[in-house]
A and B are shown apart, each in its own frame.
Chain A
Amino acid sequence: MGIASQRIERPAHARSTGAPARTPLYVRLRRMTPMTFLTIVALVYLFVMVTFVLASMRSEQSLLHEGAFGPLSLARLRFDWRQLAGFSSGIYFHWLENSAVVAFAGAAIAVLVALPAGYALAMLHFRGRRVLLFLTILTMVMPNTVLVIPLFLEVSAVHQIDRLLPVAVIFGFFPFGTYLAFVHYKTTLPFELLESARIDGVSEIGIFLRLAVPLAKQAVALVFFFAFVADWTNYFLPLVMLPSSAVQTVSVGLQELITSSQLFNPSAAAGLNVQLYMPELSFAAVLQMLPVLVVFVGAQRYLTRGAMLGAVKG
């Protein structure tokens, strides 16, 4: 059994200080400093994630008999890859492509739409501004799954089911992004700058392009990051909008891998020409996570500064 799970089960501090078993609970809790507690939680998180990622490099036999940790081999990764490539003639890689198309297009549309809208809401005076701001915040705090069935009814009424474009356009509507841009401009762009540009006779669009766009870097990074992650990991919308296997995104595809797996559906998997056990499933799940990690690393320096601005939404 693994080291970390021992840490879950026993109050780590009690043993390391050699406290007798009879010590009252509150005394033991007080001895357990906050840092110890934070460390234990972090170790549990790491244990879960690390064993999961490493499962792709182990054999089913090892997972079955050796517990949390066992011998790793890189050759196993090549084997996993061949199984995935052999599943329905490599459809997994099409799913990745489809996800890339809708997530990149969706996040790009979100940025292009949110920046000017957020700027206008923050810096300009016009009729209906408050109503629109209210609608933006309202749609932002509503879960995006709530409109999936209505959107399906709408898209199928115009016969666009099984197409990637409507999915990308739907992803492009990202009110949280508009709100991020709104807060960004509200806090970084002084009104005086706009006024002097107006006195110089620059048009409103010109002011946006010359003053607001160059200042947008952080807002662009934040909106793109949040939109991309939301789009890439979305499951319900692509599930109903893209019912044909060939146009599915990878998050829906993973579900197909699970239901085709010998592990979870032996009868259906009887005719399967490849192995889909936990190592292969772990490999498939980790592989489809990499784009999110890449975008995360790219956006990270903006995220730390933008954590308040972004996540707090205040």
Chain B
Amino acid sequence: MVTRLAAIPATEVAGTSRRRGSRVVASSRQGRGGLTLLVPYLILLLLVGIVPTGYAIYQSFLTRSGSGFGGISAYHDAVTEFQFASSFGHIGLVLAVWLPLMVVGVMGLALLLHGQRSRLVGVYRFIYYLPGALAGMGNFVLWLFLLDPVNSPVRPILSWLGYTTLNQTVEPSHLPVIIALMLFFQGAGTWILVIYGGLNGIPEELGEAAKIDGASNWQVTRWIKLPLVRPWIAYFILLNVAYASQLFLEPQVLGLATEGQISPQWTPNQLSFTFAFQIFDVPAAAALSVILLAISLVIGVVITTRTGLFSNRD
């Protein structure tokens, strides 16, 4: 970001000063051109973003039979469902393990990689990234393989911990740690690339100047590198909080693979899924979706306006 901000103004200043001359004419002409180019995007934004949101809000105010206006009864149903609080609690537990793991792991690995001159750095970055290509169900099957003591390659570790069956390994109380590890394995590599890229954007002279003045490696990291990548760390934390609030696949399929040992309403999204497809309470499902949407929206607005990464500058 640092380099880009430095690079843009040269062309941009020239652009704005020229534009100003025939601004009115240019604007209306560009407005029409812009609109034509934007039509497909606007249609999709409407169909896939705005209409479903509006429709879900509408549905969330219906009565359970779907016949008429039910006020906030659907929200009441969703919030008082006995799994509601626990499902959000589970998200909190996952975050409590996952966020520190991600921040320390990703920052640590990115900073260590950045300090190396070895050719292996590229290879390692690629290896860390690889599980990302296996995201979703592919990663999930891999973790079933790791966690099931029947064929696990880390069986000695599992048996040392006292687990001899899959159900013992993925006991509900272990879920926050297991899911945090799954998400770290599949997601850390991408973020290492991102932070590493950010570190590369820091001019080398900065660090060298500091070293000439007697700064240690650690001091360069602490006082130069970290402050400069801080907006990304904020971004990365907020994005991961938003992501975790949406957890679905991992607890859902772990529940299926262990024949119901894990509650099918372990996360809010699973609860919403249950409302919609098991108890056919569409307004409650819609209400819960609206609540989740509001949470993501708040996080999204904070990211967009507060991290300084997306300043929409001209």
Contacts and interface: CB of A to CB of B under 8 A. Distances in A.
A312 B49 contact: no
B193 to A, nearest CB: 6
B148 to A, nearest CB: 7
Nearest to B275: A149
A39 B115 CA distance: 14
A129 B314 CA distance: 11
Contact of B135 (A116, A142, A170, A229): A229
Interface string A174-207: 0100100000001100111001001000011101
A210 interface: no
A32 B88 CA distance: 40
Contact of B312 (A137, A173, A203, A252): A137
A217 interface: no
A112 interface: yes
A258 B253 contact: yes
Interface in A274-308: 277-278, 281-282, 284-286, 288-289, 292-293, 296, 307-308
Interface stretch (B89-97, B136-144, B172-180, B208-216): B136-144
A157 interface: yes
Contacts of A265: 257, 259
B293 A190 contact: no
Interface string B117-145: 01010011001101101111110111011
Contacts of A64: 150-151
B130 A173 contact: no
Interface residues of B, number: 117
Interface residues of A, number: 113
B312 A142 contact: no
Interface in B22-54: 26-27, 29-38, 40-41, 44-45, 47-49, 51-53
Interface string A120-145: 11001111011011110111011101
Contacts of A52: 142, 145-146, 153
Nearest to A311: B194
A117 B38 contact: yes
A141 B309 CA distance: 12
Interface stretch (A13-21, A77-85, A234-242): A234-242
B48 A55 contact: no
A254 B232 CA distance: 35
A147 B52 contact: yes
Given A191-B11, A229-B133, A153 B282 contact: yes
A187 B38 contact: no
Contacts of A191: 11-12, 14-15, 18-19
Contacts of A178: 41
A145 B248 contact: yes
A214 B5 CA distance: 25
Nearest to A114: B41
Given A139-B49, A308-B200, A186 B303 contact: no
Nearest to A151: B52
A50 B157 CA distance: 18
Contacts of A211: none
Given A116-B37, A205-B36, A259-B256, A251 B136 contact: yes
Chain B binding site: helix, strand, loop or mixed by DSSP?
A: helix
B246 interface: yes
Interface stretch (B67-75, B79-87, B294-302): B294-302
B233 interface: no
Contacts of A250: 137
A207 B309 CA distance: 30
* Most chain A Cβ neighbours within 10 Å, of B116, B133, B248, B309: B133
B289 A42 contact: no
A2 B153 contact: yes
Interface of B: 1, 3-4, 7-8, 11-12, 14-15, 18-19, 26-27, 29-38, 40-41, 44-45, 47-49, 51-53, 55-56, 59, 109, 112-113, 115-116, 118, 120, 123-124, 127-128, 130-131, 133-138, 140-142, 144-146, 148, 150-151, 153-157, 166, 185, 190, 193-194, 196-198, 200-201, 231-232, 235, 238-239, 242-243, 245-246, 248-249, 253, 256-259, 269, 272-273, 276-277, 282, 285-286, 288-289, 292-293, 296-297, 299-301, 303-304, 309-310, 312
Given A114-B41, A258-B256, A313-B310, 6 more contacts: A9-B157, A35-B120, A141-B239, A143-B242, A173-B48, A282-B145
The 4 closest A-B pairs by CB, nearest first: A204-B33, A191-B15, A117-B41, A233-B136
Interface of A: 1-2, 5, 8-9, 34-35, 37-39, 41-42, 45-49, 51-52, 55, 60, 63-64, 67-69, 112-114, 116-117, 119-121, 124-127, 129-130, 132-135, 137-139, 141-143, 145-154, 157, 169-170, 172-173, 175, 178, 186-187, 190-192, 195, 198, 203-205, 207-208, 229, 233-236, 240, 250-252, 254-255, 258-259, 263-265, 277-278, 281-282, 284-286, 288-289, 292-293, 296, 307-308, 311-314
